Every structure is written in C-alpha cells, then in structure tokens.
C-alpha cells in the first residue's frame, strides 16, 4: 500500500449514500460520496449541490441488512469490521 487513504479501504464507492451532521446534535443531512479530497477526507455532495470534505468519523453510510432493510452505520465501524473479514475467510 502507498499509505494514501482510499475509498476501498473504507469500503465506500462513488455514489454511496451517506449522512452527516453540520454540528453536534444537529439534524442529519444526506449526501453522495464523490471521492477522496487532497487532504485525505471524504468528498461528498449535499442535496443543494455543494461539495464538502468530511472526516470519515463524521459520516454514516446507508447499508442493506441481511433481511433487506436499510440501516445507517458509521463509516469507521464498517471499515474496521470489514478489515478483519479476510482473516477468517478461507
């Protein structure tokens, strides 16, 4: 690895639906993943079309559960859990 952050390392793809809060305790704002910014943060596009660069620990990603329902999961937790998966698969 080259040490640079990537969407693959966080198990994200361009176009994934994420949400964030502008301030602590504020309402959630949904956005779409655009890529990685120069500073290593995640570039997202909000509903008004503005591009924002946010740290991974501020984002939650929309995932589909085994039963077909949608659930919001913190990006950091998802990346940590999935990073361990190859160790147990044969």
Q: Average model confidence (pLDDT) for the chain?
A: 85
Q: What is the pLDDT of residues 14-55, one digit of tens each?
A: 999 999 998 888 999 999 999 999 998 999 999 999 999 999
Give the closest residue to 64 by CA, choosing from 2, 5, 16, 20: 16
Q: What is the pLDDT of residues 67-90, one digit of tens each?
A: 999 999 999 888 877 655 544 445
pLDDT band at 10; cut points 50, 70, 90: confident
- Give me the CATH topology for the region 8-88: SH3 type barrels. (2.30.30)
pTM score of the predicted model: 0.78
Give the closest residue to 41 by CA, choosing from 85, 49, 31, 82: 31
What is the strand order of the sheet 28-36 is part of? 51-54, 42-45, 28-36, 17-21, 60-64, 70-74
């Amino acid at each position: 690895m080259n040490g640079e952050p990537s969407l693959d390392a966080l198990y994200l793809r361009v176009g994934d639906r994420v949400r964030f809060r502008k301030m602590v305790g504020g309402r959630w704002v949904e956005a779409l993943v655009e890529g990685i910014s120069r500073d290593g943060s995640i570039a997202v596009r909000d509903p008004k079309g503005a591009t924002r660069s946010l740290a991974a620990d501020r984002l939650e990603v929309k995932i589909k559960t085994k039963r077909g329902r949608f659930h919001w999961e913190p990006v950091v937790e998802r990346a940590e859990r999935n990073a361990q998966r190859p160790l147990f698969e044969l």
